[in-house]
Amino acid sequence: MRKVLIYGFIGTFVGEDEHEYVFPKLNDTHKCMLFLCQKSEESDLELAKKECVKFGFDNISVNQGQPLKIEVLNTDKYKGFIGYYEEALEYGSSLVYYPNT
């Protein structure tokens, strides 16, 4: 069964992204959340870093991944993340970046 884990990371956007998305300004550093679909709930930092690179980031410092508990998406605080969860299930990953943090 596939699981979605969330990895927090800080990285510098350098371009060369493989995914189409509204990307941040080049050479700026951002805090980000990576929603990554995996086969298990075990954190896989190397896989997460490789996926961050596909989004165009370098100088990546990634935290341990945490399994997403689906029930939290039903709360007011986290319902805005439903789309990222669904995108990760469909495409394998999804990214949230917080500009210039």
Q: Provide the 3-class DSSP secondary structure of residue 86.
A: helix
Residue type, 16: E
Burial degree of 98 (CB within 10 A; 0-12, 13-18, 19+)? exposed
The residue ranges of every structural domain in the chain are 3-98
Q: What is the pLDDT of residues 10-22, one digit of tens each?
A: 998 888 778 777 7
Per-residue pLDDT at 45: 96
pTM comes to: 0.87
* Residue closest to 48 by CA, chosen among 74, 66, 27: 66
Per-residue pLDDT at 100: 66
Phi, psi of 50 (to 5 degrees): -60, -40
pLDDT digits (tens, 9 = 90+) for 20-60: 777 777 888 999 999 999 999 999 999 999 999 999 999 99
- Is residue 7 within 8 A of residue 33, CB to CB? The reply is yes
The residue to which tokens 């949230």 are assigned = 96
